[in-house]
């Protein structure tokens, strides 16, 4: 399903709504170039999951943990090259936890992602962002769609 957002605020809003549909253990993989809005969308998801503090880019530390209504793991594989390096920083233990994993640059560790991964592709388009979400159960997709 595709969404188009015009502003960072509306990207955050979409993230907040998506958060309502995520269950403990969910893995959300984000794909998109630098500046395509991955961290912005995650700010919204984290807020929707009850995280109160500011969500900062985890590029440097790779994994940041927040306390929401479930543990929220904001993971950024930007500085890693492949699944082996992601494994070396302990990615799998986060993927199999009861928290929600939000993974930027997920393509760097594609082979480690579970089958039920929700995939989000972000793209810069004229006047905003195109955000494509797949992997949500059909009834949840329907719910998200209603938010329009």
Partner 1 sequence: MLILGIETSCDETAAAVVEDGLSVRSSVVSSQLVHALYGGVVPELAARAHIRMIVPVVEQALREAGIDYAQVELIAVTHAPGLLGALLVGLPFAKGLSFSLNIPFVGVNHIEGHIFALRLEYPQLQPPYLGVVLSGGHTELLFVDDWCKYQELGATVDDACGEAFDKVAKLLGLPYPGGIEIERLALEGRPVIDFPVADAGGLDFSFSGLKTAVLYYLREHPDAHRPDVAASFQVAAVRQITKRVEQAVRQTGMKKVGVSGGVAANRYLRQQLQLLADRLGFELLIPRPQFCTDNAAMIAAAGYERFRRSGPSPFDLPAFARRSFAGSNQQ
Per the rule left: phi > 0, alpha: psi between -120 and 50, beta: everything else, 146 is alpha
Beta carbon of residue 148, minimum distance to partner 1 (angstroms, whole number): 25
The C-alpha atoms of residue 77 and residue 28 are separated, in whole angstroms, by 13
C-alpha distances in Å from residue 31, one per residue of 18, 26, 34, 54: 16, 16, 10, 22
| Nearer to partner 1 among residue 17 and residue 74 (C-beta) | 74
Return d(Cα 135, Cα 55) in angstroms, integer.
24
Nearest approach, Cβ of 91 to partner 1 (angstroms)?
A: 10
Q: Which residues are near partner 1 by CB under 8 A?
A: 33-35, 39-40, 54-57, 59-65, 79-81, 84-85, 88-90, 124
- The least distance separating partner 1 from the CB of residue 11, rounded to whole angstroms, comes to 11
Which residue's CB is nearer to partner 1, number 15 or number 21?
15
By beta-carbon proximity to partner 1, the closer residue of 65 and 107 is 65
């Amino acid at each position: 399903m595709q969404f188009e957002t015009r502003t960072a605020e509306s990207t955050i809003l979409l993230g907040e709504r998506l958060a309502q549909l995520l269950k403990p253990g969910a893995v959300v993989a984000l794909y998109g170039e630098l500046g395509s809005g991955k961290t912005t969308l995650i700010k919204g998801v984290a807020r929707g999951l009850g995280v109160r503090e500011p969500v900062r880019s985890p590029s440097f530390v790779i994994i940041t943990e927040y306390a929401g209504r479930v543990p929220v793991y904001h993971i950024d594989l930007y500085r890693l090259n492949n699944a082996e390096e992601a494994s070396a920083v302990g990615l799998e233990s986060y993927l199999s936890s009861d928290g929600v994993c939000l993974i930027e640059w997920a393509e760097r560790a594609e082979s480690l992602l579970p089958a039920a991964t929700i995939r989000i592709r972000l793209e810069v388009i004229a006047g905003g962002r195109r955000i494509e979400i797949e992997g949500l159960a059909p009834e949840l997709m329907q719910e998200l769609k209603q938010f329009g």
